[in-house]
Amino acid sequence: MNTAAGKTVLVTGASDGIGRETAVALARRGARVVAHGRSLERVAGTVAALRELRPDAALEPLVLDLSRLDDVRGAGAELARRGVAVDVVIHNAGVFMRERQRSADGFEMTLAVNYLAPFVLSHVLLRAAGGASLARIVNVSSIAHGRGAIDLDDLSFERRGFDPYGTYAASKLALVMFTAEAARRIGRRPTVNALHPGVVSTKLLTEGFGVQGPDSLAKGAATSVRLALDEDVANTTGGYFSDGRPARTHPAVADAALLRQLYERTAAMTGTDPLPAG
């Protein structure tokens, strides 16, 4: 374990649940935390909680709607305007939609928030000031990705029909596949890793899945914080972790052709300049 003094970590979905706990753990370790949320009121609650915990904490609120890709693209300019250079981004925000909804850009909402937003925001941060400061990208996936299926011609479940769990699992699988392909294209800096946070009784779990989880918020945040800060994983990239350790992942993650095709399809869908194929 190392201290995080001087490191700036952006946490999406930091207004409650695992995201807030992650922000708290990072602040305890001395990181400057950029706490993201969808509303100023909810982000302010996180900032207040962190200030109570650590009055000298370096904090930046960031309000944006991850379902709107223009908002996501604008985050880079907003952070640059404030002079904030992000060292680590933790893509923690996620949704579980019980009914089909479309984002402002016309994408199915689960896909838009859980996968397309991290994809676009990662590229925004990579290209901010040449990506010089960005050292680590951490993607919070789920064990559910192991039951996902990717159909490149039906990523929004239009033809297959909307299935809440299937769509959620597919979005989390896509995020792990992006992790592997981005790591291959980028090389060693920044590192890109994905994780399962555990089964925690967050709003997403209780309202989406209708169950309670056995794991604490602290456990849910622990692997994200480890991948964000710990020195022994500073050069680890393209991995998938659970409970702080490398874990088995979906067979599709080993399909190099499918990884490339999904990456290129996503870049085209979102109007994102792709990274060199290498």
Kindly list the catalytic residues. 168
User: What single string gives the DSSP state of each residue in 71-124?
Assistant: HHHHHHHHHHHHT---SEEEE------SS--B-TTSSBHHHIIIIIHHHHHHHH
Which of 194, 9, 190 has its CA nearest to residue 87? 9
Helix axes of 256-270 and 117-127: crossing angle, nearest 10 degrees: 80
Identity (one letter) of the amino acid at 157? F
By three-state DSSP, how is residue 189 classified?
A: coil
Q: What is the DSSP letter of 30?
A: T
Residue 30's region, left for phi above 0, alpha for psi from -120 to 50, else beta, is left
**Which residues are bridge partners to 195 per DSSP?**
140, 241
Q: What is the DSSP letter of 256?
A: H
Please tell me the number of Cα atoms within 13 Å of 214 on its side-chain side. Answer: 0
54: its two tokens: 């650590």
Please tell me the number of Cα atoms within 13 Å of 54 on its side-chain side. Answer: 18
Q: Are strands 136-140 and 8-11 parallel, antiparallel or unpaired?
A: unpaired
The Cα–Cα gap between 164 and 146 comes to 15
